[in-house]
Amino acid sequence: MKKIYHLADTHIGYSAYRKIDEATGLNQREVDTYEAFKQFVDYALKEKPDVILHAGDLFDSVRPTNRAISFVLSQIIRLSEAGIPFVVISGNHETPRLKETGNVLSLFEHIPHVHLVYENKYELVEIDDLKVHAVPHCDDIESEKKKIRSCDNNGFNIALLHASVLCAGLPTPRFMMHDFNEQVVNIDDLTNFDYIALGHFHRCTKVREDAYYAGSTERFSFNEVYGKRGFLEVRLRQDGGKEVISHELRTREMVDLEPIICSSLDEHEIKNAIKHRILECNPKEKVVRLKVQDIPTHIYHSLDFDDMKRLTRSAVHFEIKYEFRKNNESFSAEHPAFRSLHTEFDHFIRKYTIGAQINKTKLKELGLKYMQEWEKDSEEE
Ligand SMILES: [Mn+2]
């Protein structure tokens, strides 16, 4: 029996939002991605798989920081010292557009038991009786993939790719990330493999009986809220039997709250709904998004941003996204006292004589500019 760990899309070096991890002084989300990868390595050292396959996007960018590189190095060395073979292909995130830039993965050459595939072409990596047919992100992934031939011998054959895949029954590429330089590859001709280990799509997915996306080890956007994060354990038996087990990693909670639709709510109800949603989700240590849809601008301007800031302070990130109601500038008698600051100011300038030398248009522009700056500041604080 062969025990293989398949992971992908660790995106080391990613960082987001403003929250700083107190222990390290580093961006909290950057630390989170480190933690997820370290958890995986800890697990591997304990369970000792025969091989680890990383299906690309080990790093988040072509030029990760020294800190990110040094972190990955320390983890790869732990695996190397334990004698666990580690195969990694370059994904679209770390592959440079220009070859002369050089690939960051090349730094890990010469570490025992580490196999790096980043040369823009198909390569075969052999580890005992296991053949890993590796296709990194490359300019012409379709033709590189065609070079793969499963060698029918006594050993095991695995294909390792980083792309959005197409296959029979899936007429359109369904595993797109919509990020830069994304490649699409058809896997219909990849038959007679014991397993196809895929990277790029961040949600753990069985594409075909023999082909899986491991998914990412952390969440990198609100599109990735759903589904567990972790890695796959693939057990291949000599008789051709196979078992795929998913292992979840502990990651930070990311929540996309049910949007508040303001259409049929009055000002009081809108304010209550926002407060209620915030308290209800218990934002402590979480990454949260709340959409407030169809909110009239004058109500938005009367929100208590200081109070909302206080209520969401314990979150790693709490994002409130406002979508404003259109055509709401015709204020009826319903809300005479709650016109927005903008409207009041505009009204003031038009109605009153402010002095013969004052350019009203200029004054209005300046006033609006300061109000916008102030609003922006109070949102950012
Ligand atoms: Mn990718």
Ligand 1 center to 236 CA (angstroms): 26
Ligand 1 center to 90 CA (angstroms): 9
Look up the pTM and report it: 0.84
User: Cα–Cα distances in Å, from 30 out to 60, 68, 200?
Assistant: 10, 9, 19
DSSP string, 25-36: -SBHHHHHHHHH
62 close to 137: Cβ distance less than 8 angstroms: no
Ligand 1 center to 108 CA (angstroms): 20
Ligand 1 center to 183 CA (angstroms): 9
> Can you count the helices (H) and strands (E) in the chain?
8, 18
Ligand 1 center to 12 CA (angstroms): 12
Strand-pair partners of 37: none
Ligand 1 center to 170 CA (angstroms): 20
CB under 8 Å to 175, separation ≥6 — which residues? 164, 165, 198, 200, 201, 205, 207, 213
Map tokens 């038959």 to a residue.
Answer: 191
Ligand 1 center to 56 CA (angstroms): 7
Ligand 1 center to 267 CA (angstroms): 44
Spatial CA neighbour of 286 closest among 262, 310, 318: 318
Question: Can you tell me whether residue 358 is helix, strand or coil?
Answer: coil
Q: Measured between alpha carbons, how far is 310 from 317 in angstroms, rounded to an integer?
A: 13
Domains in the chain (CATH in brackets) are 2-248 (3.60.21.10), 255-380 (no CATH)
- Measured CA angle at 348 (ends 345, 351), to 5 deg: 150
Number of alpha carbons in the 13 Å side-chain half-sphere of residue 281: 27
Ligand 1 center to 309 CA (angstroms): 35
88 close to 58: Cβ distance less than 8 angstroms: yes
CB under 8 Å to 70, separation ≥6 — which residues? none
Q: Where are the alpha helices (DSSP H) in 213-285?
A: 267-280
234 close to 55: Cβ distance less than 8 angstroms: no
270 close to 300: Cβ distance less than 8 angstroms: no
User: Cα–Cα distances in Å, from 76 out to 87, 105, 115, 209?
Assistant: 11, 11, 11, 30
Ligand 1 center to 14 CA (angstroms): 13
Ligand 1 center to 259 CA (angstroms): 29
Ligand 1 center to 139 CA (angstroms): 14
pLDDT at 198: 98
Ligand 1 center to 164 CA (angstroms): 8
pLDDT at 370: 82
Ligand 1 center to 85 CA (angstroms): 22
Q: Measured between alpha carbons, how far is 121 from 53 in angstroms, rounded to an integer?
A: 17
Strand-strand pairing, 184-186 and 51-54: unpaired
> Which two tokens mark 178?
């919509």
Show pLDDT as tens, one digit a residue, over the chain (381 residues).
999 999 999 999 999 999 999 999 999 999 999 999 999 999 999 999 999 999 999 999 999 999 999 999 999 999 999 999 999 999 999 999 998 999 999 999 999 999 999 999 999 999 999 999 999 999 899 999 999 987 667 789 999 999 999 988 776 767 888 887 889 999 999 998 999 999 999 999 999 999 999 999 999 999 999 999 999 999 999 998 999 999 999 999 999 999 999 999 999 999 999 999 999 999 999 999 999 999 999 999 999 999 999 999 999 999 999 999 986 444 444 445 556 677 777 777 776 666 667 787 888 888 888 887 777 766 554
Map tokens 């053949």 to a residue.
Answer: 131
Ligand 1 center to 180 CA (angstroms): 9
Q: Measured between alpha carbons, how far is 71 from 69 in angstroms, rounded to an integer?
A: 5
Ligand 1 center to 21 CA (angstroms): 26
Ligand 1 center to 91 CA (angstroms): 5
- Measured CA angle at 105 (ends 112, 158), to 5 deg: 70
Strand-pair partners of 198: 161, 213
Ligand 1 center to 163 CA (angstroms): 7
Spatial CA neighbour of 240 closest among 196, 189, 207, 193: 193
Ligand 1 center to 291 CA (angstroms): 28
pLDDT at 326: 85
Chain-centroid distance, C-alpha 306: 29
